[in-house]
Structure 1
Amino acid sequence: MMQGTLSEIDLGSILQLIELGQRTGELLIEPWGTGTGRSESAITSRERVCWFLFFVNGRLVYAADKTYGQLQRLREYLRRYQLSEQVQVLADASLASTNAPEYATLWSLLAKNILTPLQARHIIQGMVQETLFDLLNLRQGRFTFVTGTALDPPLTAFAISPLMGQMMTQMQQWKQCHPHIQCPDQVISAVDEALLLEMLPEKLARPLIFWANHHTSLRQLARYLHRNLPAVARSLYPYIEKGIVHLAAPSGQGLGTASPLPRDTKLQNYHIICIDDDATVGRQVEQFLQHGAIQVTVLTDPRQALVSLLETRPDLILCDITMPVLDGYELCAMLRQTRQFQTIPIIMLTGKDAFLDRVLARMVGATDYLTKPFGKHELHSLLETHLRILWDDLPAVSVPTEARIS
């Protein structure tokens, strides 16, 4: 295993070490402080993001972006082939248990002859390039490389040195668009339709007007058109510079925007299972989630928990990592191998500053993690993200806000 911080070694050097060592495994990069103005320890689990890079014999085969576990990015790439509606829940449990969700879905589409191998390789190439583009702009964070089998079978592979040369060229092209274009997630907010129709052929102007009306981001546009981000930025730059096209900061939920699930506007019943051999943790979770619409089942024996889970279908699972006989990693991996639990959120409860715990949790298919100690608001925030609960609409719970689970 190799780990450290990006202040000690840059991404390019990390990739060179992996290439020279012809290593096979997964590189996780987790930033901190990015855009928050706060220290790493002050960022909540809901605000954390991470990227995964997958290598086989020192060659990069796939890169998962910060929406790891979601499939919106894949849908946006498939839109170019008019296949975005083909993304369904995986039917192949073996693929789902040994691969990143997005990558496994690609293979599922290939197996069903919905997607061609060439189309799949083009999609992965775009994903790899846009992920590296984001990471090369990252200055604060930490990384962990874990050796082992990564993605089986690999669909394609990229030699790192020439790929990094391409990315350096893209970075230079991107910087030439500053200050008018600064962020890949900026959205096209407005256009001067009359001027566009006057300056451009209608077949070019009309799509631009459409994208503006739907607040499409530069990143989405690159995915739709199968072009890299600098190429899209350079195409739009003359019109942005003249004020004919306007960009806005990431906002709104435009067409195809990779966004959280819509929040529920009406109350429904939820069943949450908490698996922790420490009964105190379970009782505290029950207190934090005390409401008639939420049923909490606490299980302290992980072996019995596995049996109980297979007999029911909870809406979300909280699972401690360190447990006797059967730990949280093993339990999560077992659940992800069954079709019933492929889409249910599994939240791992990790120790404070246990970075490796979070790496391994992602590797076995965990949806998210919650770092101990945590309080009521942190738990509520996480459940709001994954279950769409509107906590503001729930009656207040008489639990001290300073109470924390350790």
Structure 2
Amino acid sequence: MATYKVFTTNELAKRIQACTHEQFTGLLSVTDTQNQTWSFSFHQGYLIGGTGGVHTIRRWCRQLLEYCPRLPLETAYYGSDRFQYCDYDSLAKLVMLGKVEQKQMAAVIEANITEIFFDIIQQGEQLYSGSEKQPIFEQIPRNTKNSQLALVPANRALHKASQIWEDWQQAGLLDVSPNMAPVILQARELRRQTSPLAYDNLTTLADGNRTFRDLALKLKQNLLPLTQSIMPYVRKGLISLSEVADFNLKHPSSQTVNQTSATITSSSISSVPPQKSNATKRSRPTAPLIACIDDSRLDSEMMSQLLTQSGYRCLSILDPLQALVELLEYKPDLIFLDLVMPVVNGYEVCAQIRRISIFKETPVIILTSNDGIVDRVRAKMVGSTGFLAKPIATEKVLKILQRHLPASKYL
């Protein structure tokens, strides 16, 4: 693993170029001073995926709507609580089934990565201009699979994002995030100052639930001129900009469970827009999120049922090769990790987890039926917090959770 400080956009470009020239295969992640994380998957120097930031699911779904219009996504994008095509592997399977063309998949991947690059650049310009605090990049080698369908030249995606950012700055939108959602404040005055068509579009769509990027897609307009057309009304106080939550990602139905390598149960995983404090009313924070990395579907489902019935949220990861990507995206409070898995074992995954700075203190509990002293010693050597023997017993799991997750944090 290599760790770098990123001081400028040019330095970011150098790190991306280094991964290309080294023909790097693995995960490249960046975490800013506000604990926001993005990650990029590389295969032999080419990008094959990106995730993280404020709108992981919303962003991905937007690219699918744009480049895979035949997929049944309209309902999912505008309000459904289920979304099944949420990662590289699920989209690759659609290509294999002939439901999506390979060039469409490549377009989705590249557009998704380009948006992420733009967000990182804008965030960096706002947070780190003249500041001594810098985000941290971490380079984590790992195996990849199904990686030949969509290989995106990293420099090309970064160049596109940099050009969009340059145009964005020149338009005077330095501090305006395309992830913000316009919402009408003064409808009567807005109607007086706009054309009937513009007013109808604004009142229908500018409801605080659609970002600038969402509106551009819905209206089939270019993002920059659309944002420029709305900003005068924002500056006049007729329209305000608000943060908007990501779409919910809930446990898929039994018909779609095989299409994803990770599923979340019990509660949605999404960013929540900030709310005004209320001294007379205390709301209960989100329940702890527990990750279970286990290639056994039966054991994974047992653990998921046990956790959700006990009031926890569960992130089930069946594919250990996808574990780091999912962990970086959702940042669980505790991780259960199976020891015996194909391709990569629990020791190797645990060592990779411990190389990532944000997981230095996260409890990692090794699951195995081989409860021997040698296994325990080796598990400790790679950084595991504890050991749990299979078969899974409810009482033992709950004791571990109570020991490692302070109840006061979630009350």
TM-score calculated relative to the size of structure 2: 0.54
Matches within 5 A, 1:244-263: 248-251=240-243, 257-259=245-247
User: Is contact 2:300-2:318 (8 Å) kept?
Assistant: no
Distance verdict in 2 for CA 1:55–1:165, change over 3 Å: same
Alignment of 1:7-406 (within 5 A): 7=7, 10-33=11-34, 48-66=35-53, 71-80=57-66, 81=69, 83-84=72-73, 85=75, 101-137=86-122, 138=124, 139=128, 140-179=134-173, 182-190=176-184, 192-193=190-191, 195-198=193-196, 202=197, 206-213=200-207, 215-222=209-216, 224=218, 231-241=222-232, 248-251=240-243, 257-259=245-247, 311=302, 313-316=305-308, 347-348=333-334, 356=356, 375-378=406-409, 380=410
Residues 309 and 358 (structure 1), Cα distance of their counterparts in 2 relative to 1, 3 Å cut:
same
- Once residues 77 and 159 of structure 1 are traced to their aligned partners in structure 2, the CA distance between those partners, rounded to angstroms, is 18
Which runs of 5 or more structure 2 residues have no equivalent in the other structure?
129-133, 251-264, 267-286, 288-292, 311-316, 324-329, 336-349, 365-400
Question: How far did 1:377 drift?
Answer: 3.9
Shift in Å, 1:212: 0.7
**Identity within the alignment, %:** 13
Secondary structure of the corresponding residue to residue 242 of structure 2: coil
- Is the 2:181–2:209 Cα contact (8 Å) retained in structure 1? yes
Distance 1:242 1:306, change over 3 A: closer
Distance 1:90 1:361, change over 3 A: farther
Q: Measure how far apart 1:51 and its partner are.
A: 1.0
Superposition deviation, residue 307 in structure 1: 8.5
Change over 3 Å in CA distance of 1:308–1:175 after alignment to 2: closer
What is the RMSD computed on CA atoms of the aligned residues?
A: 4.9
Distance in structure 1 (CA, Å) of the matches to 2:95 and 2:361: 27
Q: CA deviation at 1:171?
A: 1.3
Letter of the 1:376 counterpart: A
Residue of structure 2 in register with 1:6 after alignment? 6
Distance, in Å, in 2 between the alignment partners of 1:52 and 1:235 is 29
Q: For structure 1, which runs of at least 5 residues remain unmatched after alignment?
A: 34-47, 92-100, 263-269, 272-293, 295-301, 319-330, 338-343, 365-369, 381-390, 392-406
Q: Which amino acid aligns with 2:5?
A: T
TM, length-normalised to structure 1: 0.54
Deviations 1:143-201 (A, max 9, x none): 11112323523432232334333222211111123258611222121262454335xxx
Tell me if the contact between 1:54 and 1:61 (Cα under 8 Å) persists in the aligned partners: yes
1:197 partner letter: S
Between the aligned partners of 2:181 and 2:230, the Cα distance in structure 1 is 14
**3-state SS in 1 of match to 2:356:** helix
